[in-house]
Amino acid sequence: MQLAVNAQIPAALAGAQGQTVYVDTEGSFMAERCADIAEGAVRHVTAMAAKQASLGRPELLDSLRSGLLAFDVRSLLGGIYCFRIHDHTEQLALTNMLPRFLQQNPQVRLLIFDSITFHFRQDFPDMAARTRTLTHMAQQLMAAAQEYGVAVVLMNQVTTKVLEGGGAKLVPALGESWGHAATTRVMLHWGASDNERHAALFKSPHLPPGDVAFAVTAEGIRGLPRS
């Protein structure tokens, strides 16, 4: 939900100033919580616009005050197209119609699946068929990203894999092959020593592995100072 709001940050603040398609497969999207995050974003953007105005660049603040640039809770929630998906058949159908939807809505800059895995962890006795279906879906999403210039964010679940010798590690729920389908992989986890939430960058085409702590606040996701 934070990403869905952030995708609408004005271009004057290096934002995408676009809209979001949010595919909710688990029924976890809460409009009330998204409104809280949107309120936090409005306060942040207004503060940044005021800072720019104090430096002699009043354009963004003037646009916000005049209504020329709509950046309030109502407009932010209106910039999120939410699709509730109940099974894997609906998910595949939505993936098939996405190109037409993106063509009709060129302001969309972000596509989120929360989560991509939920309906594929059950009711699939044929693992080979599941792998083929997921591979085809990944190819469709990559093609849509390239053709329509949208970022695609896929939330994945994890499972515990028991290793030889008695150890264990967390792996992507749909297997390592699916984990490698994404260009960038970030693992969200609790810190082992500081009891804080962490985002660890595991894979990126141009950035080294890294880790950053963050907090979930009333206004949304916020970074924490480095120790």
The residue ranking higher by pLDDT, 126 or 211, is 211
* Helix, strand, coil shares, percent, the chain, to 5: 40, 25, 35
pLDDT bin (cut points 50, 70, 90) of residue 54 is: very high
How many Å apart are CA 91 and CA 88, to the nearest integer?
5
Tell me which of 66-75, 95-104, 131-140 is least confident.
Answer: 131-140
Q: Give DSSP secondary structure letters for 31-65.
A: HHHHHHHHHHHHHHHHHHHHHHHHTT--HHHHHHH
In the chain, the percentage of residues whose pLDDT exceeds 70 is: 99
Confidence at residue 227, expressed as pLDDT on a 0 to 100 scale:
62
85 pLDDT tier (thresholds 50, 70, 90): very high
In the chain, DSSP assigns E strands to: 19-24, 80-84, 108-114, 151-155, 158-162, 168-172, 185-190, 197-203, 210-217, 220-223
Question: For 214-227, how does the pLDDT look when each residue is reduced to its tens digit (9 = 90+)?
Answer: 999 999 999 998 76
Region of 56 on the Ramachandran plot (φ > 0 left; ψ -120 to 50 alpha; else beta): left
Q: What is the distance between the alpha carbons of residues 180 and 86, in angstroms, rounded to a whole number?
A: 26
Averaged pLDDT, 122-139: 84
- Predicted local confidence at residue 44, as pLDDT: 96
User: Which residues are bridge partners to 82 per DSSP?
Assistant: 22
Whole-angstrom Cα Rg for the chain: 20
Q: How far apart are CA 17 and CA 178, in angstroms?
A: 30
Lowest-confidence pick of 23-27, 99-103, 132-136 = 132-136
| Cα-based torsion angle of the residue sequence 158, 166, 212, 203 in order, rounded to the nearest 10 degrees | -60
- Cis omega before residue 115 (within 30°)? yes
Q: What is the pLDDT of residues 159-182, one digit of tens each?
A: 888 888 878 887 777 777 777 778
Does residue 145 have a pLDDT over 70?
Answer: yes
pLDDT at 146 over 70: yes
Determine the Cα–Cα distance for residues 189 and 81; give it in Å rounded to an integer.
Answer: 28
pLDDT tens-digit profile of 11-42?
999 999 999 999 999 999 999 999 999 999 99
